[in-house]
A and B are shown apart, each in its own frame.
Chain A
Amino acid sequence: MTPELLQAAAASNQWSAILPELGLGCLALLLLVLEIVLPKSAHDRIPTVAIVGQLAILVALLVNLTPAGLERDTFNGLLHHSRDGQFLRAFFLVTSIVVCLLGRVALAKQLLPKIEFYHLVLVVTAAMMLLAQSNHFVMLFVALETVTVGFYILVSYVRTSPLSLEAGLKYLIMGALSSALLLFGIVLLYGVAGTPTLPAHTGQAMNFDALSAFLAANPGNFVAQCGIALVLSGVAFKIGAFPFQIWIPDVYQGAPTPVTAFLAVASKAAGFAVLLVLTLKAFAPYAGLTVPLLGVLAAATILFGNIAALTQSNVKRLIGLSGVSHAGFLLLGVVAAVSTPLALGAVYFYLAAYLIATLAVFGVMTHVAGPNDADQELDHYAGLARDNPFLATVLAVGLGSLAGIPPLAGFMGKLFVFIAAFKAGLYPLLAVAIVGVVISIYYYFGWIKAAFFETWRAPQPEGTPDSRPARTPVAWPAGVTLGLLALASVVLGFYQGCFGEWLLNR
C-alpha cells in the first residue's frame, strides 16, 4: 500500500467532515490515559478536562456551523451532512457537557469511580452524533448499538444499588429486543429490495437513497411494509413511544440521575433524529403506511404518558412518564412533517426547548437528591422555595417550560408543533394533544406546588430525623449552568431571533 493510495483514500473519505466526532473519541481516550499517568491526587481534575475539551469542540462546531461542504454524502454514502445534522451535533454536545457537570455533583455523593463515566458519556455522544447523520442502515445500526451498549453500563453504574442493577438488566433485555426488531426489519427490507423479479431492485438497499428509490417503484409491497413497521418499532423503543415505553419508569428510577438526564434528552433526541430521516427520506414513498402508524402511536403515547404520570410520587418516574408524553407531542410533529415542511423546524425547536428545560429540572434533582439516588420523592421538595430560592426558581422555569406555559420556550415548541399539525390537517390528533396538555398541567403544577406552596405538615416528635435528604450546596459551575438554562428557557420564549429564523425558515 503506497502512501499515495492512503492519501487518496483519506481524501475521498473526507475525514475532516467528522472532526467533531473524532475529537470526542480522542478526548475519551485521553481521559483514560490521564487516569493512568496522573497521580491519584490530580484525578479530580480529569472531569474538568472532559468538560473543557467538549466546550472547545462545541465552540469550534458553532464557529463553523454552516461550512461550505454541507448537503453532501461522505464515506461512500454512509453519512449525509446537512444543516439539521449540524443542529443535532451541537444538541448532543450541549447535553453531554451538562451531563458531565451533573455527574461531578452526583457521583461525588455516591463515591463511585469517576473517569469511566465521562469516558462512556463522550463515546456515546460521538456515536449519537454519527447516528444523527447516518444515511445507511449499517452506519445506523453500528452507531445505535454503540449508544445502547454504552447505556447498558451507564444505567447500572451504581453497582451497589439493586435498583440500578435491575434497571440495567431491564434496559439490556429491552434494548436487545428492540435491536432484534430493528435488525429483522432491516433484513426484510434488504431482502425484498434485492429480489431480482421486482422492478428497480438493487443490491445497495442499505443506503437510504437507494432504498427510497426501490420503495417508490414498488408501492404496497407487503414484505416491505412489514420491514418498515419493524424498523419503526425498533426506533419507537428508543424514543419511548407507546406500547414500547414499559422500560422507562423503572430504568429512569434506577439509573443514576445524570444518566437518567442523558437518557431522557440525548437518547430520545437520537431516536427522533433517526425517525425523521427514516420517515422523511428512506420510507417517504410509503407515507400511506407511516403516517397512520405513527399517528396512532402519537395519540396513544400522549394519553398514556400523561395519564400514567398523574399518579407518580417519585420524581424520576414522573419525569420519565412525562418524557413519554413529550415523545408523543414530538411524534405529532414527525407525522405533520411528512406533508408540512414547517413541522421539521418545529420538531427541532421543540427538542431544543425540551433539552433546556429537562436539563434544568435534572440539575435541580441532582442537588436535591440524597445519597440514595433512586429515592427522590415529591415530598423532598417541600420548602425548597424558602431554603433555596435559586434552585426553586430554576425548577419552576424548567417545569413551566415542560408544561408548555407561556412565555417559556416549551410553549413556543408546542405552539409550532400544533400550528404544523393544523396545517397538515391532523385534527383528531390535535384534540388528543390538547387534552394531554391540560392533563400535564396537573402533575407539573403539583411538583411546583410541592416546592413553593407551604402545606401543613404533621408535627414530628422532638429528635425525629428529617425524612428529606440534605440538599447539596450549589457550586459555581453548576450554578452558572442552571442559571443559563433557566434564562435560555425564558429568552427563547420571548425572542427566538436568528435561532428561530435558522430553524423555521426552510
Chain B
Amino acid sequence: MSQLPFDPLLVSIAAPLAVALAIALGLPKRYSVLLAYAGFAVPALMALHCWYHFPVGLGADYAFATQYDTGLSALGISLKLGLNGIALPLYVLAGLVGLAAGLYAIQSQAERLKIYLMLLLVMQGGLMGVFASVDVFFFYFFHELALIPTFIMVGIWGGRDRNYAAMKMTIYLTVGAMLSLLGLVAIYVKSGANSFDLVSLRHALTAAPLDGTLQKYLFGLLVFGFGILVSLWPLHTWAPLGYGAAPSSAAMLHAGVLKKFGLYGLIQIAVPLLPLGATQWTTVFAGLAVFGNILIVGFVTMAQRDLKQMVGYSSVMHMGYAFLGVACLSGLGAGGVVLMMVAHGLSVALLFLLATSIHHRTHTFDLNEMGGLAQKTPVLAAFFVTATLASIGLPGFANFWGELTIFVAAWSYSKVLTACAVSGIIISAIYGLRAAARVFFGPPTEELNRVTAAHPPADLRWSEKLPAIILLAALLFIGFWPKSLTTPLNAALHPAWPAAGALPLQTTPGK
C-alpha cells in the first residue's frame, strides 16, 4: 500500500484544479506555464504510484479508500475515493494521457494559452476524479466537470465548423449525460440503500435484486445514455465532427480518456448492479456495435479524406469492439474491454497528437494534398506508422491483447458477430496504412511543394516527441507485460461479474 503522508487520489484531483484556480485568479503567464507542468505531472505521478503500490489479492475491494463529507449526508452522498482493479487501469490511463496532452498543449503556442491550459487542467482534475470515485454521484459529477471545458475549447480554439460542432456536441452529450444521470438516480432510489456509495448499492442490490422488468428499463436508460457518450452507432455523429474541430489536446483527452466514462460505467456499475437487465439488451447493442460501429462506420472511415476526421471516425469504430466485449457479459469480455479502453485511449491520443503535428508541417488535413513527407520528417513518419500499427492491433502493442481477449470472449457469445468484428481489423488496416502511405510516402503533391517551399518542415521537436514517447512507451509496456494490469483486473472482475455462460443467453443470435 501507499506510504505517502497524504491521500494520493485526492491530491491527483485537487492539484490540477488548484493550478487552474491559480491561473484563473490572474497568475502571470510565465508562472502559469511552470505551474501547469506541475498540474499535469502530479496526477501522472500519483497514477504511477498507485499502480506500482496496488495491493495484490484485493478482490473486489477498494485500495487507497478515503471518504470526505461534503454536506449531503441527508442524500447519502459523500466524496468517497478509492481504486479497484477495474478503475486502476483507467486511472493510470487518465494520468498518462493527461500528462501527454498537457505537455503538448504547453508547447502548442495556442492563442490565449493561459485560459487554454486552465480549461485543460479542469478537465484533467475531472478525469482523475471520474475513475477515483467510489461514490456514483461523484463519478457523474467529475465526468461533467471534465466535459464542460471540452465544449468551450471546441468553441474557442476549434478549427473548421467550430460553432456548429460545439453546439452539436453540447446537445448530444447533454442528452446522454441526462439519460445516464436519470438511470443512476433511479438505481439509487429503487435500491433503497439511500446511499450513492457503489459498495452499499452493490450490497443492497445483491441482497434484494430489482425485478426483471424494472432492470430492463433502467439498463435501457443507461445503455442509451452511456451509448451517446461513447458514440454508439447511430448516436455517434457528434464524435467525428467534434474531434475534427477540437484543438488537439482537448481531442486527446476526450477521445482518449473521457469517452471511456460510458463503458467504464457499464462495466463497473450497470452490468454488476442490473445483471438481468443486461441480458435483455445485449442483442440490441451488440448488433448496433458490430454492424453499425465496426462495419458501417469502418467503411465511412475508409472514405475520409480529412486526416483528423479519419482518426475521429476510427475511434468511433473501435468503440464497437468495446461494446461487443461488454455484450458478452463475461469476466473475460469485460477484462478485454478494459484493456482495450486503455490501449485505444493511448493510441488514439497519440494519433491526434501526430495528426496535429503533421498539420503544422503541411498546413492541411486533406490526405489527397499530402505525400512524401517521410523524406523531410523521418522521425514523425516513424512515430505515425508505429501508432497506426498499434491502433490496428499488431502484437507487441497493448491493443492486441484488448482485441484478442474480446474476440475470444465473443466467440462463445456469437460466432457470426465475432466473424464480422474480426473482419473489421482488415478495414482498420486498410484505412490506417493508406493514410500513412498518403501522408508520408509517394511523390509530394504540387500543393504540398508550394507549402513546404514557403515553410520548410522541421522534424519533430523534443517538446512534441516527449508526449508521444510517453504514450508509445505505455502502449509497448502494456503490450509486453499485460499482466501488470490484468492481475488486479481479474481480481476485481471475478466477484463482480458472473463467469461466462452463467447467465441465460438463449436469446443471443448465432447459437
Contact = CB atoms under 8 A, between A and B. Distances in A.
The finding on whether chains A and B are genuine partners in a shared complex, rather than unrelated, reads: yes
Interface string B107-146: 0000000000000000000000000000000001100110
A423 B74 CA distance: 14
A418 B186 CA distance: 10
A452 B152 contact: yes
A499 interface: yes
A405 interface: yes
Interface of A: 342, 345, 393, 400, 405-407, 411, 415-416, 418-419, 422-423, 430, 434, 437-438, 441-442, 445, 449, 452-455, 494-501, 504-506
A337 B409 CA distance: 49
B408 interface: no
Secondary structure call for the A interface: helix
Interface string B167-200: 1001100110011011001101100000000000
B182 A406 contact: no
A419 B189 contact: yes
A407 B163 contact: no
B4 interface: no
B5 interface: no
- Of the candidates B71, B148, B189, the one having the most CB atoms from chain A within 10 angstroms of its own CB is B71
Contacts, number: 84
B144 A405 contact: yes
B166 interface: yes
Given A454-B156, A500-B70, A501-B73, 18 more contacts: A342-B74, A393-B24, A407-B141, A407-B144, A416-B75, A418-B185, A419-B189, A422-B185, A430-B182, A434-B182, A438-B175, A445-B167, A452-B152, A453-B155, A453-B162, A494-B70, A496-B71, A500-B72
Q: State which size class the interface on B falls in.
A: 20 to 34
A177 to B, nearest CB: 37
A505 B73 contact: yes
A64 to B, nearest CB: 22
A341 to B, nearest CB: 10
A411 B178 contact: no
Contacts of A498: 71
A438 B155 contact: no
A452 B156 contact: yes
Contacts of B163: 449, 453, 455
Interface string B292-321: 000000000000000000000000000000
Contacts of A430: 182
A494 B163 CA distance: 29
B229 to A, nearest CB: 14
A314 B151 CA distance: 24
Contacts of B70: 494-497, 500
A499 B71 contact: yes
Nearest to A505: B74
A383 B432 CA distance: 41
A437, A442, A453, A495, most chain B CB atoms within 10 A? A453
A356 B174 CA distance: 23
Contact of A497 (B24, B71, B170, B175): B71
30 contacts: A342-B75, A405-B148, A406-B141, A406-B144, A406-B148, A407-B144, A411-B144, A416-B75, A419-B188, A419-B189, A422-B185, A422-B186, A422-B189, A423-B189, A430-B182, A434-B178, A434-B179, A438-B178, A445-B151, A445-B167, A449-B166, A452-B155, A452-B156, A453-B162, A453-B163, A455-B163, A496-B71, A496-B72, A500-B74, A501-B71
Contacts of A406: 140-141, 144-145, 148
Nearest to B122: A407
B185 A419 contact: yes
Contacts of B141: 406-407
Interface in B219-270: none
Contacts of B186: 422
